[in-house]
Amino acid sequence: MSHPRYQPCLGGNELAKVLEMQGIVKGFPGVLANDHVDFDLEEGEIHALVGENGAGKSTLMNILYGLYQPDEGRIVCKGRQVRFESPLDSIAAGIGMVHQHFMLVPSFTVYENIVLGAEPRRRGSFDRAKAISRVRELAKRHDFRIDPLARIHNLPVGSQQRVEIMKSLYRGAGILILDEPTAVLTPQETKELFVILKSLARQGKTIVFITHKLEEVMEVSDRVTVMRGGKVTMTKATAQTDAREIARMMVGREVFLQVNKADLTPGEVMLEVENLWVADDRGLFAVKGLSFQVREGEILGVAGVAGNGQMELAEAITGLRPVQAGRIRVCGQDITGNSPFAIRSAGLAHIPEDRYKHGLAKTGTVEENAIMFLHNFSPITNNGLLNRKAITEHADSIIENFDVRPRDRKALAGQLSGGNAQKLIVGREMTLNDKVLVACQPTRGLDIGAIEFLHNRIVQQRDHGSAVLLISVELDEVMSLSDWILVMYEGKSMGELDARAAAVEEVGRLMAGIGKRGSSGKEASA
């Protein structure tokens, strides 16, 4: 173990619980986030923690990591009661956490991020050579493919996450907490992560794994704990349960992930993209001559492995990124190069990919976030003055209809749980009832109940005559919602498929860049 402060709380009796949390209670103003929660961990297990948005999963783990203090209850580590006043205490007890939002220093190298706070030294100065060799050794021992000298901001998300894991391992963590680690990963990266987790568990590490995807629970976990409304509703060996039961315990009712759509009755073209060229941040082309149309009452799903130009496409359409060549029309109006405000005014709503960067003002209240964009218009604003009553009504209706919890207009948007923040954005954009909806990763971080709800809302928008452009790396989502599927690969279209006739294998092949390219498009198959 590389860190001198490490006093392991594991070892000894194999069957003993490595850690127990007993009767944990934690309240925030207006919500009881953890309500007498019992939670325990066995050595070497992968323990899945699931539950609806706002069920209290992150809160429970933040308590275990010493970021929050529980109001009641105790933590027992290897038979000894402990108090974690700060992450320093939990790190010393061998606990590591990978947060939902990464905690890395972007301009630093991989090894600098890993050793920060526990740097090897030689005669008072920072011993870089030793830091690098230790990190190399760590990577080798756990079979991580990573260059210690790479800078974080040049790394893909999956690698950044590996750095986070290595930070904990470097400090000798025996218990590793991962908060929704797969939410930001591509399917390929997720597979790689699971290989890592399984191998860590084989080495005796204990892993807590928070996720909303039940197939991941079934695939990787040994035990599963389900939370609902701050309480634990079930803890079971994964082998003795199934996805249906877990879903029922989470939501409190049966969940159907099948969506029912009315037959396709497409109308006028509402969103038209013609030979679009868009550059990424480095000045390289990410979208290369893309063309497509979305008509009233239809959903065009854009499938593809993350990083094949989908983000740049969405940003170009919504006016967040300059267009190098080509045309974009919304409701027949040429909006190429217009401001986001003008584009929205032309009738386009947008659910952005990064909810904190483009979706919300974290330090604003829920109601302030709920009226963004609408604050330009009556009845929210009359003669330049905000209309309190209209704001209250509008915010309340979004909170009510989209089940944003807690039901508090004045709560800060930054304090909402990840999933509830997303529901607030989705609610705001969908109540605009615009003719065009561009939805990017709309269900990222949502629980299955919320996904079911959101999928139904998207389909409802389509049935009411909106043109929906759905961009998602979740192939299942694209397959089940879309009328047409456009597969993007390296900035180009690999072809447009009829969603009813498309096979998963075929789409998967196209996503990998194998197969026909060009316009086997709508015209051909329609």
Partner 1 sequence: MIHLLSQVFDTQFLASAVRMTTPILLAAMGGLLCSLSGTLNVALEGLMLMGAFGAVAGSFYTGSWLAGVGLAVLLGTLTSVLLSVTIIKYKANELVVGLAVNLAALGATTFMMRTLWQVKGSFIDPRIAPLPSWRLPLIHHAPVLGKVLSGHTPVVYASWAVVLIINYVIYHTAFGLRLRATGENARAAETLGVRTKKLQYVAFILSGALSGLAGAQLSLGLVTLFLINMTAGRGFVAMVAVILGQRLVAGVAGASLLFGLAEGLTMRLQGLRIPPQFVLMLPYLITIITMVLLRPRHPRPVLPEEARKAALEETP
Ligand X SMILES: Nc1ncnc2c1ncn2[C@@H]1O[C@H](COP(=O)(O)OP(=O)(O)OP(=O)(O)O)[C@@H](O)[C@H]1O
Residues that bind partner 1 (CB under 8 A): 67, 86-88, 91, 97, 99, 103-108, 112-113, 116-119, 121, 124-126, 167, 274-275, 277, 279, 281-285, 288-289, 324-327
| 419 counts as binding ligand X under rule CB under 6 A | yes
Q: How far apart are CA 137 and CA 158, in angstroms?
A: 20
> From partner 1, ligand X, Mg ion, none, which one binds at residue 54 (CB under 5 to 8 Å depending on kind)?
ligand X
Applying CB under 5 A, the residues found at the interface with Mg ion are 58, 418
In the bound complex, what is the minimum distance in angstroms from residue 65's beta carbon to Mg ion? 13
> From partner 1, ligand X, Mg ion, none, which one binds at residue 31 (CB under 5 to 8 Å depending on kind)?
ligand X
Residue 171 or 405: the one with the smaller Cβ distance to ligand X is 405
In the bound complex, what is the minimum distance in angstroms from residue 442's beta carbon to Mg ion? 18
- What letters, b where the CB count within 10 A reaches 16 and e where it falls short, cover 184-216? bbbeebbebbbebbeebbeeebbbbbbbbbbeb
In the bound complex, what is the minimum distance in angstroms from residue 501's beta carbon to Mg ion? 38
Q: How far apart are CA 182 and CA 474, in angstroms?
A: 12
Residues paired with 467 in a beta bridge: 298, 436
Residues paired with 334 in a beta bridge: 329
Candidate residues 35, 41, 43, 53; the one interacting with ligand X per rule CB under 6 A: 53
Q: Amino acid identity of 465?
A: G
Residue for token digits 């690098």?
Answer: 132
Residue 149 or 325: the one with the smaller Cβ distance to partner 1 is 325
Q: Is the backbone of residue 214 left (phi > 0), alpha (psi -120 to 50) or beta?
A: alpha
Binding-residue total with ligand X (CB under 6 A):
19
Residue 286 or 499: the one with the smaller Cβ distance to partner 1 is 286
| 442 counts as binding ligand X under rule CB under 6 A | no
| 415 counts as binding ligand X under rule CB under 6 A | yes
Joined together, the tokens standing for residue 235 give: 């803890």
Residue 77 or 250: the one with the smaller Cβ distance to ligand X is 250
What's the Cα-to-Cα distance from 427 to each of 216, 275, 448, 459, rounded to whole Å? 28, 32, 17, 14
340's enclosing H/E stretch is helix 340-345
> From ligand X, Mg ion, partner 1, none, which one binds at residue 377 (CB under 5 to 8 Å depending on kind)?
none
Residue 359 or 419: the one with the smaller Cβ distance to ligand X is 419
Residue 103 or 504: the one with the smaller Cβ distance to Mg ion is 103
Q: How far apart are CA 132 and CA 100, in angstroms?
A: 27
| 182 counts as binding ligand X under rule CB under 6 A | no
In the bound complex, what is the minimum distance in angstroms from residue 453's beta carbon to ligand X? 14
**Most distant CA pair in the chain: distance in Å?**
75
DSSP letter string over 395-410? Answer: HHHHHHHTT-SS--TT
Per-residue contact track with ligand X, 268 to 297, x per CB under 6 A?
Answer: ------------------------------
